[in-house]
Amino acid sequence: MQRASQWRIHPARRSLINRLVRWVVGSVALAAGVLAAPQVALADAAGPTDYRSEVVSVTPSTDAITVTIEGGDAFVRVMVVEGHQVIVLGYDDEPYLRISADGTVEENRRSMATYYNAERFGSDDIPDIVDNDATPEWVKIGSGGSWAWHDHRAHWMEPEPPIGLDPGESLPAQIVPMIVNGVPVDVAVQTTLQPSPSVWPAIFGLLIGMQIVLLGALAGPATSIFSSLVLAAAATFVGVAQFRSLPSETGPLLTWWMLPAIALICLITTILIYGRSLMMQHALVLLAGMQLMLWAYIRRSTLTKAVLPTDLPFWFDRMVTAAALTGGITMVIVTLLAMFRPPATVDAERPTASA
Amino acid sequence: MNRKQAIVLVILVPLVIVSGLLLGRSMGGSDDNSSAGIQIAGADDAGEYAHDFNIPPGTADRIAAGQVVEIVPAELVVKVGDAIRIVNNDTEDHIVGVFFVASGETLTQRFNSEGVLEGECSVHPSGAFTLRVEA
Number of domains chain B contains: 2
pLDDT digits (tens, 9 = 90+) for A137-153: 999 999 999 999 999 99
- Between B18, B60, B99, which is nearest A163 by CB? B99
- In this predicted structure, which of A118-122, A247-251, B23-27 has the lowest mean pLDDT? B23-27
Same domain? B13 vs B58? no
Is residue A222 predicted with pLDDT exceeding 60? yes
Q: Work out the pLDDT band at A219, boundaries 50, 70, 90.
A: confident
Same domain? B85 vs B100? yes
Is residue A354 predicted with pLDDT exceeding 60? no
User: What local confidence, expressed as pLDDT, does residue A5 receive?
Assistant: 40
Same domain? B20 vs B60? no
Same domain? B80 vs B112? yes
- In this predicted structure, which of A104-108, A171-175, B31-35, B110-114 has the lowest mean pLDDT? B31-35
pTM of the model: 0.78
Same domain? B12 vs B59? no
At A185 the three-state DSSP class reads: strand
Q: How far apart are CA A295 and CA B94, in angstroms?
A: 40
Q: How far apart are CA A72 and CA A219, in angstroms?
A: 42
Is residue A51 predicted with pLDDT exceeding 90? yes
Q: Work out the pLDDT band at A28, boundaries 50, 70, 90.
A: low
* DSSP state at residue A300: G
Q: Work out the pLDDT band at B23, boundaries 50, 70, 90.
A: low
Is residue B32 predicted with pLDDT exceeding 50? no
Is residue A55 predicted with pLDDT exceeding 50? yes
Is residue B39 predicted with pLDDT exceeding 90? no
Which residues in chain A have Cβ-Cβ distances shorter than 8 Å to B107?
163-164
Better pLDDT: A70 or B24: A70
- CB-based contacts of A305, cutoff 8 Å, min separation 6: A47, A48, A49, A50, A197
Is residue B38 predicted with pLDDT exceeding 90? no
Is residue A329 predicted with pLDDT exceeding 80? yes
Same domain? B8 vs B52? no
Q: How far apart are CA A52 and CA A58, in angstroms?
A: 18
Same domain? B63 vs B126? yes
First to last CA, chain A: 12
- In this predicted structure, which of A278-287, B17-26, B60-69, B107-116 has the lowest mean pLDDT? B17-26
Instruction: For residue B49, give the CATH number of its domain.
Output: 2.60.40
User: What local confidence, expressed as pLDDT, does residue A39 receive?
Assistant: 43
Same domain? B47 vs B10? no
First to last CA, chain B: 60
How many beta-carbon pairs below 8 A join chains A and B? 75
Which residues in chain B have Cβ-Cβ distances shorter than 8 Å to A215?
10
Same domain? B61 vs B109? yes
Which helix (H) or strand (E) segment holds residue A85: the answer is none
Q: Work out the pLDDT band at B35, boundaries 50, 70, 90.
A: low
Task: Find, among A115, A122, A149, A126, the residue nearest to A251 by Cα.
Answer: A149
Domain extent for B69? 33-134
ipTM metric: 0.71
Strands B99-101 and A146-149, sheet pairing:
unpaired
Residue B8 touches chain A, beta carbons under 8 Å: no
Residue A336 touches chain B, beta carbons under 8 Å: no
Same domain? B25 vs B72? no
Same domain? B53 vs B114? yes
Is residue A319 predicted with pLDDT exceeding 80? yes
User: What local confidence, expressed as pLDDT, does residue A10 receive?
Assistant: 60
- Between A162, A203, A214, which is nearest B18 by CB? A203
* Residues constituting chain B: 135
Q: How far apart are CA A183 and CA A86, in angstroms?
A: 9
- In this predicted structure, which of A115-119, A158-162, B129-133 has the lowest mean pLDDT? A158-162
Is residue B31 predicted with pLDDT exceeding 80? no
Same domain? B9 vs B56? no
- In this predicted structure, which of A66-70, A138-142, A218-222, A297-301 has the lowest mean pLDDT? A218-222
CB A164 within 8 A of CB B100: yes
At A286 the three-state DSSP class reads: helix
- Inter-chain CB proximity A217 and B13 less than 8 Å: no
Best residue of A163, A169, A300 to probe chain B, by most B CBs closer than 10 Å: A163
User: What local confidence, expressed as pLDDT, does residue A223 receive?
Assistant: 84
Q: How far apart are CA A118 and CA A41, in angstroms?
A: 9
Q: How far apart are CA A335 and CA A353, in angstroms?
A: 19
Better pLDDT: A22 or A206: A206
